[in-house]
Amino acid sequence: GGTASGGTVEIQGDHRDRLRQLLAGKPGWTVKG
């Protein structure tokens, strides 16, 4: 689950750790949390 709003994507659930690793290396993405 998650939500997208105002230039922000919030990821919830089992995929958080996987997506954090994937997006952290992409230009233009900031990973928090």
**Model pLDDT, residue 13:** 87
**Model pLDDT, residue 27:** 94
- Count how many domains the chain has: 1
Asked whether the beta carbons of 21 and 29 are under 8 A apart, the reply is no
Range of the domain at 4: 1-27
**Model pLDDT, residue 4:** 92
Domain membership of residue 33 (yes or no) is no
**Model pLDDT, residue 1:** 78
Domain membership of residue 32 (yes or no) is no
Report which DSSP code applies to 2: E
**Element holding 16 (H helix, E strand):** helix 16-24
The pLDDT tens digits of the residues spanning 1-33 come to 789 998 898 988 888 889 889 988 899 998 887
